[in-house]
Structure formats: C-alpha cells, structure tokens
A and B are shown apart, each in its own frame.
Chain A
C-alpha cells in the first residue's frame, strides 16, 4: 500500500494550523513534529502510559491513538496551552510547590488529565485524584507529590472561586 496524504486543519491552544500530512501520522507526532509543540510526549504508542494525553474539546484523550487527520475541526489544548499571559495555571504552580515532577516526562500528560478532572470535580478526595491519574504512569515521583499538588490546587482554586 502506498502512503496517502491529506490536509489537516485544526486549532491548537487557540491557534489555527493547516498542514498536509501522511494519513498514518498520529496526532501526537503531528503536534510534536509538524507544528513543533514538543511538550506532549510519546511514551508507549499503545495507549497505556498517558504521557501523550491532551485535551480535545475539553476531554482528555491519548494523542498517540488518534490520527492527525482525525483532528480536523477539533479544538485541541496541550500542556503549552495551560498557562496564560498572566502566569502558570494554578495546577502548574502547585506541581512546582510540591515537587510533583522529577524527570518531567510524564508531567504534561498529568497536567492535562488533571485539569480536565478538576473542571469536573473541583473538590476531590485523595482517592479520586489517584483514580483520575490511574492512566498516567510515572516512574520517578511515586505519585505522592502529584496528589498533594492537585489537592492543594483544588483547594486554592475553590477558595479563589476559580475554575480549573
């Protein structure tokens, strides 16, 4: 079978992109190599490790298990889109405070997953946080800092009346 190419027109972190790509290019590879947003990482290419997690229309998904061509007309948010000109997202700040990252490779996937989670559950229990990241493997931190950071960020956002 020969390669087939197709146009992709998609919005990532509020910016529109149009590229022509090999249809078998994954969305993860598209983000990383076609438009240079290397914050999303590839850890397994079979949907288990969660390092490639991004948000499509606000839902957390594995970008390694989606084709770039399937992203046409979708709204994508990656880790690069979590901070604003005003500063890092409260969850990013909390990760920093609580030493919730060491090598940083799983971190983008953790952040996108948890941002989507906190939008749905703004006052989670510890068990709920652990369950929320059950599909994100970390080999460095042992998860404790990540959980502490998430609970802290949730508390702070609730107190400030902010949404995740």
Chain B
C-alpha cells in the first residue's frame, strides 16, 4: 500500500507554507499524517505535492490569554492532553482526547489536522463547537477568521479553501466552576466514535443552570449544538425530566446511515449519551460548587 509519487516540501514558517500551498497544483498540507497518510497509502488521495507543516514551529503552542485558550494548529494532541493549562481551563478537552485514537496517534496527530480533516466523529471538532471556537485561517493573500458554527460545510468538508491552512484555534474559555463530561460509544477503545456527546454546564449560586452547552458528533456530517435544549435548560434547576428532554432533542436530528450501523442507532446513542453527558456535567458542576 504505497503512496503515489509526490514532491516533498518542508517550509519552516507559516508564510513559506501558505506560499507553497497557494502556488502548487494538487498540493496537500501535512501535519500529523495520521489521517492523510492512510488515505495516500490506499491511493484514495494522490497529491503531487506534500507540504509538511511539522517544521513550522511557530504554529505549535498552547496559550491561555484573556478568556481564550489558543492552540497553534500544529500542536500535537498529546501535548494538549498533558497541558496543565488545558486541564485547568478546558478540562473537557482532556477527557475527550482520551477517546481520540491511541497514544501513538496522538503523539503525532494535531488539533489543526483533525479539524481540517473534519471527520464527522472527530472529538476535537465536538469540543471546539462546545467552546464556540474561532478559527484563524491563513493564506498567501492574508488571513481570515471563521466561527466554528460556520466552519463545517458538509461531510468532511470545511470552509478552508485551497491554499489556506488553519493556523490558530481559539476556544472561549468557561469559568472555573463549570461542569463537563464527554461520552462516546465506539466499537472498541480508540476507534472512530459512532456517536459522541460533549456537555458543559455552569450553575448559579442558587443551583440553577446558568448556561449549558451540548454538542453531538458522529450523528450528522457536521457536529451540532442542541440549541433548543440549551435554551430550555437555562435558568432551570437540574432534573431528570430536563435532562431527558435534552436527550430526546438529540435523537431527533437527521442521522447518517452506513454499512455498519443505521441512522436509528446513531439517533438512539445521541439520546443515551446526551443524557449521560449532561447528567455527569451537572453533577460535576454541583460538586465543584460544594467543594
């Protein structure tokens, strides 16, 4: 399973990288390679040029500043997994990362690569949605920002155009006391999710929900937030019925079918996992309040 022949480029700055990508025909950016190389080995994808971004050190960073958590696109998933900053201000990302492939793939895979590849089941896309991420995209002609909710266009399709690369991903950080939970069902540990749900919740001093965010991935081509449920939860005290209502909303979304599992199973899991994730997130928020 050898890839077709290509030319290899290894820029050392972002400017060089976008210059190459903007001028070469049939060129692909390479970051972790954990998704791109399998595609190339199966010859599903046959680029003439591979632009290796791993040498662009300026895109490898984790920075918490002014209510945002910034990730350079070429930051390794394992770096994020073990980052103290991330563990402190966006702990759901650490929990979600435990489901992403295996340690060996996380040691190479990057956050930018995962988001650009945009597999419907990508855990990092789910938590990016939860955090209303802002994505900074660079090209030869400059840079632009894309809001996470506008980023996904369809099945494995994002708003990133030819010649553009994801450079920075900024998460809007939640307060210290927020509860969180990430739930996933996959065939085996580390496999692509069939369905995954991330939930975050903040409680007010009276124990009522100040805000909640629930993101569902693996069901539709693009991960989605449960907007209606989030609204309904705001201002209410946590209850089984409320959580159940959110779960039911999750199951109503149109779901993908494939040779392995039907849409109905994904919808079912969306319901089950939304319940579990929201319940756990609310419990955690309550524990943090007490603690």
Contact = CB atoms under 8 A, between A and B. Distances in A.
A113 interface: yes
Nearest to B55: A70
Given A45-B1, A135-B104, A1 B37 contact: no
B206 to A, nearest CB: 39
A2 B7 CA distance: 8
Nearest to B189: A134
Give the interface SS of chain B, mostly helix, strand, loop or mixed.
Answer: loop
A42 to B, nearest CB: 9
A58 B107 CA distance: 10
A62 B105 contact: yes
Interface residues of B, number: 30
B34 interface: yes
Contact of B5 (A24, A46, A66, A117): A24
Contacts of B1: 45-46
Interface in B1-47: 1-8, 10, 33-34, 37-38, 41-42
A148 B265 CA distance: 37
A108 to B, nearest CB: 13
B103 A2 contact: no
A60 B41 contact: no
Contact of B34 (A24, A45, A62, A132): A62
Contacts of A46: 1, 37-38, 41-42
B267 interface: no
Contact of B37 (A4, A22, A50, A65): A65
Given A134-B189, A135-B105, A47 B5 contact: no
A162 interface: no
B190 to A, nearest CB: 5
Nearest to A6: B8
B54 A70 contact: yes
A61 interface: yes
B6 A66 contact: no
Nearest to A63: B104
14 contacts: A3-B5, A24-B5, A24-B6, A45-B1, A45-B38, A50-B104, A53-B104, A59-B107, A61-B107, A62-B108, A65-B34, A66-B37, A113-B104, A135-B103
